[in-house]
C-alpha cells in the first residue's frame, strides 16, 4: 500500500535520511489529498512547505540607472567646479591687469606731478638766484651813497 | 575562485539572468527569518543591490546562488541582532503572550499557518536548515556551504528541526481535536 511506503519515508524523513526525491514523493502524496487517517497529522507540515515555495519577491530589482546617474552627476560636478575655478582665475587675472594698469597710470601721474613740481622748484631756485642778484645790486646801491 | 580573473564584468541583463532565479529564494529566506513581508522585501533589495555592486566577482553561476543565500542569511541575522540590541521587539512577538488575537485564531484554523508560526519559534539555525531543505530543496553539501557547516552537522540540525516541528504540531493537533 502506498500509505505504508509513505509512512516509512516519513519515519526516515524525521531522521533526515530521505533524499530530495523521496521528500518530493511525500509532499506529492499529501498534495493529492487522499491521506491515510494515521498520516493526516503530518499534513500541515508538508502543505506549509509546498505553500512556502510558491511565494515570490515582488520588490524592485536594482537598475543601472541609479549608479550611472551618480557617475554622470560626478562628472558634471567636476566640470562645473573646474569651470568655476577657471572663470574665477580669469576674472582675478583681469582684475590684476586692471589694477596694474591703474597703478601704472597713478605712477605716471605722480611722476608727472613730481616732475612738474621739480621743474617749478628749479624755476623757483632760478628766481631765487635772480632775487639774490637783485639783493646784491640793491646792497651795492645802498652801500655806495 | 580560479576562473574569476579574466571574466569580463557582467552587464545588467546578464546580471538579471543570473539573479532572477535566485531572488525568490532570497526573499523567502529573508521572510523566514524576519517574518514581516516588508522587512523581507527590504532585505532582499539590499542584498540584490550589494550583489549588483559586487558583480565583477560573479562569474560562476552555482556559487553566485550559494553566495547570495549566505549574504541574505547574514544580512537578516545582523538585522535581528541590531533589533534585539536596540530593545525593539519584532511586532509579531508582541502579541504572543496575550490572549489569542483574531489573527491568531484565523491562522489557527489554517493548518499550514500553524507550521509557519511553529517555525517562528525555532532557533535560527533550525529555521535555516528547514527553509533550505524542505522549501528550497538544496542538498546537504549546498546547505553546508551556505551556512558554513559540514554536511553531517546539517543533517543533525535538520533532523532536530523536523522533530521539533512535529512535536509542536502534534500538540496543536491534539488541542484542535480534543
Contacts of B26 in chain A (CB under 8 A): 57
**Other C-beta atoms within 10 Å of B131: how many?**
24
What's residue B87's pLDDT? Answer: 55
Q: How far is A61 from chain B (nearest CA, A)?
A: 7
- Lowest mean pLDDT across A47-51, A121-125, B70-74: A121-125
Lowest mean pLDDT segment, chosen from B38-42, B75-79, B107-111, B118-122: B107-111
Q: Which of B78, B64, B72, B59 is nearest to A57 (CA)?
A: B72
In chain B, % helix, strand, coil (3-state, to 5) comes to: 75, 0, 25
For residues A85-105, average pLDDT? 88
pLDDT value at B109 more than 70: no
Nearest to A20 among B112, B139, B173 (CB): B139
Task: Judge whether A59 lies within some domain.
Answer: no
In CATH, what number is assigned to the domain containing residue B100? 1.10.10.10
Query: For B28-41, what is each residue's pLDDT tens digit?
Result: 999 999 999 999 99
pLDDT tens digits, one per residue of B113-167:
889 999 999 999 999 999 999 999 999 999 999 999 999 999 999 999 999 999 9
**B137/A64 CB distance under 8 A:** no
Residues B87 and B99 in one domain: no
Q: Is the pLDDT of residue B8 over 70?
A: no
Mutate to test the interface with A, among B115, B151, B158 (most CBs of A within 10 A): B115
For residues B115 and B162, membership in a common domain is answered with yes
Highest mean pLDDT among A100-104, B86-90, B92-96: A100-104
Across the A:B interface, residue pairs with CB atoms under 8 Å apart total 85
* Same-domain check for residues A81 and A127: yes
Task: Tell me which residue in B28, B53, B169 faces A44 most closely, judged by beta carbons.
Answer: B169
**Confidence grade of residue B60 (pLDDT, cut at 50, 70, 90):** low
Least confident piece of the model among A39-53, B55-69, B113-127: B55-69
Across the interface, which of B12, B42, B111 has its CB nearest the CB of A64? B12
Higher local confidence (pLDDT), B91 or B45: B45
Domain of A110?
64-145
Out of A10-19, A66-75, B27-36, B69-78, pick the least confident. Answer: A66-75
Q: What is the Cα–Cα distance from B28 to B68, expressed in whole angstroms? A: 13
In a domain, B4, yes or no: no
CB B73 within 8 A of CB A5: no
pLDDT at A144: 74
Give CA–CA dist B134/A18, Å, rounded: 11
Could you give the CA distance from residue A82 to residue A80 in angstroms, rounded to a whole number? 5
- CATH number of the domain within which B84 lies: 1.10.1740.10
User: Mean pLDDT throughout B71-86?
Assistant: 89
Q: Is B125 within 8 Å of chain A by CB?
A: no
Q: Number of structural domains, chain A?
A: 2
Q: Can you give the pLDDT at residue A129? A: 73
> For residue B115, what are the domain limits?
95-178
Is residue B2 situated within a structural domain?
Answer: no
| Predicted-complex ipTM score | 0.78
A42 interface with B at CB cutoff 8 Å: yes
Contacts of B53 in chain A (CB under 8 A): 67
Higher-confidence residue: A70 or B81? B81
Percentage of chain B lying above the pLDDT 90 cut: 56
Do B27 and A57 lie within an 8 Å CB cutoff?
yes
Mean pLDDT across chain A: 87
pLDDT at A62: 77
Name the pLDDT band for B178 (thresholds 50, 70, 90): very low
Question: What whole-number distance in Å separates Cα of residue B83 and Cα of residue B96?
Answer: 18
Judge contact between B166 and A14, C-beta under 8 A.
yes
At residue B95 the predicted structure's pLDDT band, cuts being 50, 70 and 90, is very low
pLDDT of residue B107: 52
Answer whether B116 sits within 8 Å of A57, measured CB to CB: no
Using 50, 70 and 90 to split pLDDT, how confident is the model at B72? very high
Cell of A106: 597713478
Of the residues B61, B94, B127, which one is the last residue of a structural domain? B94
Per-residue pLDDT band at A143 (split at 50, 70, 90) = confident
CB under 8 Å to A5, separation ≥6 — which residues?
Answer: none
Q: Phi and psi at residue A79, in whole multiples of 5°?
A: -60, -45
Q: What is the mean pLDDT of chain B?
A: 82
Q: How many domains does chain B have?
A: 2
3-state secondary structure of A16: coil
Angle made by CA atoms B111, A56, B12, in degrees to the nearest 5:
165
Q: Contacts of residue A58 in chain B, CB cutoff 8 Å?
A: 41
Q: Give residue A116's pLDDT.
A: 87
Nearest to B112 among A48, A63, A67 (CB): A48
Residue B166 in grid coordinates: 512535529
Name, in order, each residue with C-beta under 8 angstroms of B137's C-beta and a sequence gap of 6 or more: A20, A23, A24
Amino acid at each position: 500500500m502506498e500509505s505504508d511506503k509513505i509512512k516509512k519515508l516519513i519515519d526516515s524523513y524525521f531522521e533526515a535520511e530521505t533524499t530530495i526525491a523521496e521528500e518530493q514523493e511525500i509532499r506529492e502524496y499529501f498534495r493529492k489529498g487522499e491521506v491515510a487517517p494515521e498520516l493526516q497529522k503530518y499534513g500541515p507540515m508538508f502543505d506549509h512547505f509546498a505553500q512556502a515555495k510558491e511565494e515570490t519577491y515582488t520588490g524592485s530589482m536594482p537598475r543601472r540607472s541609479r549608479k550611472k546617474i551618480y557617475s554622470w552627476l560626478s562628472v558634471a560636478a567636476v566640470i562645473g567646479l573646474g569651470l568655476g575655478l577657471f572663470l574665477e582665475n580669469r576674472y582675478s587675472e583681469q582684475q590684476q591687469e586692471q589694477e596694474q594698469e591703474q597703478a601704472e597710470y597713478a605712477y605716471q601721474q605722480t611722476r608727472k606731478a613730481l616732475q612738474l613740481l621739480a621743474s617749478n622748484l628749479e624755476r623757483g631756485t632760478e628766481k631765487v638766484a635772480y632775487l639774490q642778484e637783485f639783493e646784491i645790486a640793491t646792497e651795492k646801491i645802498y652801500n655806495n651813497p | 575562485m580560479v576562473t574569476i580573473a579574466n571574466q569580463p564584468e557582467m552587464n545588467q541583463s546578464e546580471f538579471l539572468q543570473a539573479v532572477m532565479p535566485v531572488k525568490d529564494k532570497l526573499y523567502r529566506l529573508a521572510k523566514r527569518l524576519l517574518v514581516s513581508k516588508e522587512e523581507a522585501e527590504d532585505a532582499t533589495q539590499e542584498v540584490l543591490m550589494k550583489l549588483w555592486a559586487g558583480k565583477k566577482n560573479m562569474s560562476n553561476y552555482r556559487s553566485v546562488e550559494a553566495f547570495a543565500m549566505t549574504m541574505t542569511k547574514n544580512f537578516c541575522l545582523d538585522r535581528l541582532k541590531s533589533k534585539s540590541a536596540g530593545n525593539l521587539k519584532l511586532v509579531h512577538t508582541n502579541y504572543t503572550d496575550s490572549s489569542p488575537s483574531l489573527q491568531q485564531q484565523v491562522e489557527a484554523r489554517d493548518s499550514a499557518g500553524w507550521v509557519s508560526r511553529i517555525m517562528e519559534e525555532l532557533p535560527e539555525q533550525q529555521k535555516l536548515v528547514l527553509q533550505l531543505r524542505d522549501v528550497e530543496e538544496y542538498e546537504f553539501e549546498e546547505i553546508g556551504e551556505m551556512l558554513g557547516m559540514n554536511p553531517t552537522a546539517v543533517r543533525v540540525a535538520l533532523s532536530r528541526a523536523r522533530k521539533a516541528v512535529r512535536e509542536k504540531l502534534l500538540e496543536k493537533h491534539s488541542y484542535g481535536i480534543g
